[in-house]
């Protein structure tokens, strides 16, 4: 079977397979990007962006089937929602970048990744990313909750790991009152109960 060659902006021929491998290399960059919030608060050995997305994907398996949502779609959303960071980095509110500018940068990054991934896979990835950004489905709303929950779970894990109980309160404060799904709220309540108990026992 003859490989179809295309010519990129530099005049260099590239096949769909070459683009796919380029896409894989771009995704590899995520492994080297540490989550900015943990870097800023100086936790030791901060997690990478895909560390965060992987645990979100695993957490999606624990969503009760009775909710009626598509858990496979939630898992996919979890695995791609921060994909643009392989190009733009982990932009946080402390970077003084407006929401509109952050969205513009990430949209351009996703369009670049979509082109490399090809028409079928690329379109699926871009559609999932837009769905998450626009919070247009129940599945996207679940992923937003998982995103916030995974962060406070990680904060609690770091507090225990470094024996600094209560030191990462800001991450709990910034998610307060923002969870939408009752099941995730139950997870949050149990996490906070365990954390409060540990803090009291350490005093």
The angle formed by the CA atoms of residues 122, 123 and 126, to the nearest 5 degrees, is 85
- 4 pLDDT more than 50: no
Instruction: Give the residue carrying structure tokens 């540490």.
Output: 34
- Residue 14 DSSP one-character state: E
- 106 pLDDT more than 50: yes
Domain CATH number, residue 90: 1.10.3210.10
| 7 domain residue, yes or no | no
| 112 domain residue, yes or no | yes
Looking at the structure of the chain, the number of domains it has is 1
Predicted TM-score (pTM) of the model is 0.90
| 8 domain residue, yes or no | no
Please answer whether residues 49 and 90 qualify as being in contact, where contact means their C-beta atoms are separated by less than 8 angstroms: yes
| 1 domain residue, yes or no | no
- 43 pLDDT more than 90: yes
Residues spanned by the domain of 41:
15-202
- 74 pLDDT more than 70: yes
- 1 pLDDT more than 60: no
- pLDDT averaged over every residue in the chain: 93
| 128 domain residue, yes or no | yes
125: nearest Cα among 8, 24, 10: 24
Instruction: Give residue 9's pLDDT.
Output: 54
185: nearest Cα among 152, 159, 140, 137: 152
Please answer whether residues 171 and 155 qualify as being in contact, where contact means their C-beta atoms are separated by less than 8 angstroms: yes
Instruction: Give residue 93's pLDDT.
Output: 87
């Amino acid at each position: 079977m003859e490989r179809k060659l295309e010519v990129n902006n530099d005049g260099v021929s590239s096949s769909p397979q070459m683009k796919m491998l380029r896409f894989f290399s771009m995704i590899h960059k995520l492994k080297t990007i540490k989550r900015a919030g943990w870097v800023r608060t100086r936790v030791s050995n901060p997690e990478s962006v895909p560390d965060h997305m992987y645990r979100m994907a695993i957490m999606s398996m624990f969503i009760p089937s009775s909710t009626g949502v598509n858990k496979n779609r939630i898992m996919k959303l979890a695995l791609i929602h921060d994909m643009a960071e392989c190009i733009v980095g982990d932009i946080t509110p402390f970077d003084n970048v407006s929401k509109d500018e952050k969205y513009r940068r990430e949209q351009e990054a996703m369009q670049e990744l979509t082109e490399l991934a090809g028409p079928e896979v690329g379109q699926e990835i871009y559609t999932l990313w837009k769905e998450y950004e626009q919070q247009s489905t129940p599945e996207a709303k679940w992923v937003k909750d998982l995103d916030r929950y995974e962060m406070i779970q990680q904060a609690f894990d770091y507090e225990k790991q470094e024996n600094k109980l209560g030191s990462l309160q800001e991450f709990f404060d910034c998610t307060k009152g923002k969870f939408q799904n009752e099941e995730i709220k139950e997870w949050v309540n149990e996490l906070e109960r365990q954390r409060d108990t540990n803090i009291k026992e350490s005093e």
